[in-house]
Amino acid sequence: MRKDILNKRQTSALALLKGSPEVNKFYLAGGTALALHLGHRYSKDFDFFTDKQFKVANLLRGLQRRGKCQDIRKDWGTLFLEFDTILCSFIFYKYPLLDPPSPTPWGFEIVSMREIGAMKIMAIGDRGRKRDFVDLYFIARDLGIENVWQDFETKYAGTGYDSYHFLRALTYFADAETDDMPDMISKITWKEVTKFFEKEVRKIVL
């Protein structure tokens, strides 16, 4: 695990969360989870998910006992806040896991690259951000775009998603053009990323 991608504030926040019975019911996914796997970039926030319903009020109380919580936004099944100055999200996410998540030194679990790849395709289909394309580039380069697409189809089977929409989204970069590049460790250009998807997506057969 590439803990060197964490800055001092993130390390401090994770130390405060360590062993939290409330947080340990969640798994870490998203950009920071992938960076912990690959060490390809820095990521500022923590995205936690669970496929089990939870009481937002109980989670918030547990977090407030461990550190400073501010800028709190909550709804059914979702909690967004700054915990010890780090942006955190806690989300009820009903979709089944492809692989059992792995333990971390902080008590909660972390999902696999396969899992993150499928979730990144879903995110790109909603609104493709540059960081999502960059993350998916590194996943697809390692696992193969066809395998990542198959994982997406498996994870979201039965949801009625439009395959053509998501396939088209993988080569639609207009929404991402104005985003800044993530803070990279492994050097890559935006042009290399777009060219990769324009070429590789042709391998996917619907």
Round to whole Å and give the CA distance between 169 and 180: 19
Model confidence pLDDT, tens digit, residues 109-168: 999 999 999 999 999 999 989 999 999 999 999 999 999 999 999 999 989 999 999 999
What six digits make up the tokens of 205? 């057969």
Looking only at the bridges linking them, the beta strands covering 86-92 and 46-50 are parallel
Distance CA 36, CA 40 (A): 9
- Given this model, what pLDDT does residue 205 score? 74
**Dist. CA 65–CA 25, nearest whole Å:** 17
Q: What secondary structure does DSSP assign to 100-166, as a single string?
A: PPEE-TTSSEE--HHHHHHHHHHHHHHH--HHHHHHHHHHHHHH-HHHHHHHHHHHTTTS---HHHH
CA–CA distance, 156 with 148 (Å, rounded to integer): 12
CB 33 within 8 A of CB 76: no
Which strands, in side-by-side order, build the sheet including 102-103? 69-75, 78-83, 86-92, 46-50, 27-29, 109-110, 102-103
Regions in the chain scoring below 70 on pLDDT: 206
- Find the Cα–Cα–Cα–Cα dihedral 46, 49, 53, 59, rounded to 10°: -20
Taking the C-alpha atoms of residue 116 and residue 139, their distance in angstroms, rounded to an integer, is 8
Q: How far apart are CA 123 and CA 92, in angstroms?
A: 16
